[in-house]
Amino acid sequence: KQEVTQIPAALSVPEGENLVLNCSFTDSAIYNLQWFRQDPGKGLTSLLLIQSSQREQTSGRLNASLDKSSGRSTLYIAASQPGDSATYLCAVGTGTASKLTFGTGTRLQVTL
């Protein structure tokens, strides 16, 4: 059974700081890994999708890496802003039916 863990559970940083969110998964037989953002009481917004054959993906100030063999992914956020405050969820895609298995998220607060 695939299990996804995210560390830390919560993080508070001052504006402008670079930060790293961690995600680990137990079964390396994944199709892809996706990072999402969730604002309080809202749905999920896809940030980055890394296919299993890729090592990293970049979008603006965000960079996600994937090490499938070790079961790890990191989300790097450069020059953090108060608008980045949200919960960040990592999810791995497995099976032929695009099933996503999620971690419990990292709640990020960026302070002024």
Partner 1 sequence: DAGVTQSPTHLIKTRGQQVTLRCSPKSGHDTVSWYQQALGQGPQFIFQYYEEEERQRGNFPDRFSGHQFPNYSSELNVNALLLGDSALYLCASSWGALAGVQETQYFGPGTRLLVL
Task: Measure CA 107 to chain center.
Answer: 11
The distance of closest approach from Cβ of residue 57 to partner 1 in the complex, given in angstroms and rounded to an integer, is 11
Residue 98 makes contact with partner 1 by CB under 8 A: yes
Q: Tell whether the torsion through CA atoms of 51, 56, 58 and 63 is positive or negative.
A: positive
Residue 84 backbone phi and psi in degrees, to 5: -80, -10
Residue 112 makes contact with partner 1 by CB under 8 A: no
Residue 49 makes contact with partner 1 by CB under 8 A: yes
User: What type of residue is 46?
Assistant: S
What residues make contact with partner 1 under the rule CB under 8 A?
4, 31-32, 34, 36, 41-46, 49, 51, 89, 91, 93, 95-105
